[in-house]
Amino acid sequence: MQNVQLTIEKSSDGSVWGRVEYDNDLLVDAAKSEEALERKFRRLLKVFHQVDPDKIKFKITYDLTSIFDKNEVLNVSAIAKRVGINSSLLRQYTSGIKTPSQETVNKIEKVIHGIAKELSAVRISTPRRKVV
């Protein structure tokens, strides 16, 4: 199985577009869904690089402008607070108005991974019934 990085961004019309760098070649395409986009890239890799589509495993990364759309449970203000930046600045990053440094992107990613770790440790039990 060959791991190939696929970076996904969301367009303003709700479709997704992505990019794959393979063998110093940049492939770019768009589709209505992530699944359709993956199918398109499997075909492109087969046509341009003779890669067996069944031997490809995509490592999905999300552009900062799309990560909050993809994961609606992420709260921009809460993430910004944990990262140590102003929430309006993070909103400008997520809308594409401003571009963050790689260091800031790494901090945002680290905070999101930390939240995922916190959530994975959560255990929920059924509430105790009130005894009257």
4: three-class secondary structure by DSSP: strand
pLDDT at residue 131 greater than cutoff 80: no
Chain centroid to CA 47: 26
Range of the domain at 83: 64-120
pLDDT tens figures, 59-94? 988 887 677 777 777 889 999 999 999 999 999 998
Alpha-carbon distance of 6 to 41, in angstroms, equals 9
In a domain, 86, yes or no: yes
- 65, 95 contact by CB (below 8 A): yes
pLDDT tens figures, 92-122? 998 888 999 999 999 999 999 999 998 888 7
DSSP state of 129: P
Q: Where residue 72 sits, what CATH number does that domain have? A: 1.10.260
* Torsions phi, psi for 75 (to 5 deg): -100, 120
Average pLDDT, the chain: 88
In a domain, 10, yes or no: yes
pLDDT at residue 57 greater than cutoff 90: yes
- Asked which of 62, 85, 111 is the last residue of a domain, the reply is 62
Residue with tokens 């203000």: 77
Alpha-carbon distance of 71 to 67, in angstroms, equals 6
